[in-house]
Chains A and B, each alone.
Chain A
Amino acid sequence: MPAQIDIKEVHWLLDIVQCIDVGVIVLDRQYQIEVWNSFMENHSGMGPDEVYGKSLFGLFAEIDEAWFRRKVDTVVQLGTRAFSLWEQHPYLVHFKNYQPITGQADFMYQNVTLLPLTAANGAVEHICVVIYDATEAAVHKRQLAK
């Protein structure tokens, strides 16, 4: 990334984060939400205003808190990425199938990546959660298994 970014580019980058078809969440160390992109907004039915500053666990009771905290701790302490695959953990947050009419699955299967976001002092103050829709892969795999 260039050292000098002009305001127009920042605008584009923000647009990109909003528009890409993956979920982007940024959490602070207290698991409170600081970034919530359009994918998250549209699939959860909750806009940024409704989620900013709130705890992720408070909003999504389906998340296995102990499991998620363990994963995030690794990221914070080691500064490495962590992953969750639909095969082991079908979804992080319960969203409806992106293909509600012709789709074969009851919900959206998700792969998740957890990224450390470092502050200026090098410490990991925030985590970025990226959620990918893995429903197609899950459905195909199930069909092959039959």
Chain B
Amino acid sequence: MMARKQLIRALPAEWPVTISQANHGEEAMQMLRQGLAEVMLLDLTMPVMDGFEVLAALRDEGLSCKVIVVSGDVQEEAIRRVSELGALAFIKKPADPQKLHETLSRLGLLAPPTPASPSSTPAVVAVPARPAFELKINFRDALREISNVAMGRAAALLAKVLGVFVELPVPAVNIFEVSELHMTLADAQRGERFSALCQGFIGDGIAGEALLLFHDSEIADISRLFKWHPKDETETSEMLLDLASILIGACLSGISEQIDVRFSQGHPQLLGLHGSIDSLIHVNQQRWRKTLAVEISYSLEGHNVHFDLLLLFTEDSIQRLSHKINYLLN
């Protein structure tokens, strides 16, 4: 919802359109089948049916609609694919009003409607759903959106370095008690051996740790991608630390930029190689009760590689984060 609100606010004021909103790709398709739109502003990262699938479906069903993609997924490959699938333009999130105006103008979409069509141009804005949670809906939604944009940047860097396409699902935002975090990590581990890295960050009253999990079964694939042949544990550790620096660094700076906070970052640490949840991550402790967790699972297309990145904010960061986000929304 935050993405839609931001996007709608960025649209040119003088554009004579009626706007319909879709929560995800499936809803957008239903609207398009009913001929409800001439123009669509389409996000890529959506639940149920993502942006790529929508574009493909439009093409397969022979539906005409002028599509402008507005997304946080800024990988070159993503941009290439949407063009190939028929999108007319790609705008990076958060959408800059001037850029939007220029694009709409360039595509001849700002022009007054023809006599044959209704008094205003129908446009659809399709961006992710807003599910119901315990946290105030605005905050959770907003944080999810911010994380979405941040991880889009991280993915683009990764894509460039490794020459792969990164699949980006919608980030999951939850407040966890100690035991719930433990369960989430156990789920991520899927009963396998894995390796974990962490990096602390703090700034402007917001503090936390970024945790990156790699499954041992995938380390060989990761090495191949990096075109490295780690001879031993030391080299494997170094490779994982490099990867962690890229992913965590890009994600944190993506968030940092959007909420206008500068973070100090500790050195990335290897929590352990080839272990189980209990041996590697000591979360059963009396030092904290709740954490605000943003869970981002990257997958690399065509490779058996997944990274689970968890941004764990401290409980006392939540108020400050909320304040910063409200500022951003208004």
Query: Does B205 count as interface, using CB distance less than 8 angstroms?
Result: yes
Query: Are B263 and A42 closer than 8 Å at their CB atoms?
Result: yes
- With A and B bound together, what is the CA distance between A140 and B182 in angstroms? 23
- Segment among B59-67, B228-236, B280-288 that sits at the interface with chain A: B280-288
Nearest-Cβ distance from residue B192 to partner chain A, whole angstroms: 20
A98 (CB) vs chain B CBs: closest residue: B200
In whole Å, how far is A88's beta carbon from the nearest beta carbon of chain B?
24
**Tally of chain A residues near chain B (CB < 8 A):** 18
Q: A21-B265, A100-B207 are in contact. List 5 more A-B contacts (CB 8 A).
A: A100-B200, A100-B209, A102-B198, A103-B287, A133-B266
The 8 closest A-B pairs by CB, nearest first: A98-B200, A42-B264, A42-B203, A98-B266, A101-B209, A99-B200, A101-B312, A100-B314
Asked whether, in the complex, the Cβ of B267 is within 8 Å of the Cβ of A96, the reply is no
CB atoms of A38 and B288 under 8 A apart: no
Query: What residues make up the interface of A, taking CB atoms closer than 8 Å to B?
Result: 21, 38-39, 42-43, 45, 96-104, 106, 133, 136
Cβ A101 vs Cβ B265 within 8 A? no
B185 vs chain A, min Cβ distance (A): 10
Report which of A39, A100, A106 forms a contact with B264, defined as CB distance below 8 A. Answer: A39
Main secondary structure, interface of A, reads loop
* Contact call B198/A100, Cβ cutoff below 8 A: no
Do B269 and A96 have beta carbons less than 8 Å apart?
Answer: no
Q: Is the CB of A42 within 8 A of B204?
A: yes
Q: Known contacts being A104-B282, A106-B287, is A99 close to B266, with CB within 8 Å? A: yes
Q: Is the CB of B262 within 8 A of A38?
A: yes
Give me the interface of B with A, judged by CB distance under 8 Å.
181, 198, 200, 202-205, 207-209, 211, 262-267, 269, 271, 281-283, 285, 287-288, 291, 312, 314
Question: With A42-B262, A100-B200 in contact, is A21–B267 under 8 Å at CB?
Answer: yes
How far is B200's CA from A101's CA once the two chains are assembled, in angstroms? 9
Hey, which chain A residues are within 8 Å of B263, CB to CB? 42
Of A21, A38, A45, A101, the residue contacting B211 (CB under 8 A) is A101
Complex interface: chain A residues within 8 A of B266 (CB): 21, 98-99, 133
Would A45 and B288 be within 8 Å (CB), given that A21-B266, A99-B198 are in contact? no
User: Which residues in B have their C-beta under 8 angstroms from that of A102?
Assistant: 198, 209, 211, 271, 281-283
**Are A101 and B262 in contact (CB-based, < 8 A)?**
no
| Selected contact of B288 from candidates A39, A43, A98, A100, CB within 8 Å | A100
Q: How far is the CA of A104 from the CA of B202 in the complex (A)?
A: 17
A134 to B18, CA, bound (A): 60
- On whether the beta carbons of A43 and B264 are closer than 8 Å, the reply is yes
